[in-house]
Structure 1
């Protein structure tokens, strides 16, 4: 039985998850997972070295290199062949998932995961059950157990 895949940490999900080239033909879409996009962002946009990228995502350097290689190959294929890029899914956790309840001021951390984890709009205060909350900036992070 294969080993469970590592869960990479990402800073945020993105607002725009679909890129369609002008003059789009009938090629199938290229699916880029969120942890692959995070690897591209950290290495190619932010300019971190491989060890820093891996540490930021909470994975090994070898795993980071595999994720980055897969992402670059997919994006290159989409650009060369004029295929749409769909960014979704993957096996990841989102950083900074610490909330403060606006009703009772209780502070707690959620354990998000891409597989069945709660999204921001579904999270209620564990103390009073209120939905009104704000997200706090925090370095608290926990690994996930799921896979999407």
Structure 2
């Protein structure tokens, strides 16, 4: 099978996001029910599910006695995809530099002093957690 890009298009992400929101296995009909009006065509969602299957984001199973109906389940969590996507952004746009990525968002988002303080608190808390875990392994 031809290797495809592992990045989700906007439409693929919308379908995948819907499956994540459902939070369990689902048929194309189930996924379609969660879309706002105007809903995409059944065949459109089915095509995106096929693409997501090819990209390795979903798998499916069939229930005996249910005919050809495929029941899809996510193989990748939203958090895993977000981590992968952000790693790609950091690499592709910021040369792999977390500092450059953070500087960009601090400047571009015009963060308030409170938001910056909250970010610093999060960083400090994470550093403290890492230090505690390192001490446990010694």
More strand by proportion, 1 or 2? Answer: 1
TM-score, L = length of structure 1? 0.27
More helix by proportion, 1 or 2? Answer: 2
Return the index of the structure with the highest Cα Rg. Answer: 2
Q: Which protein has greater RCO, CA pairs closer than 8 Å, 6+ apart?
A: 1
TM-score, L = length of structure 2? 0.29
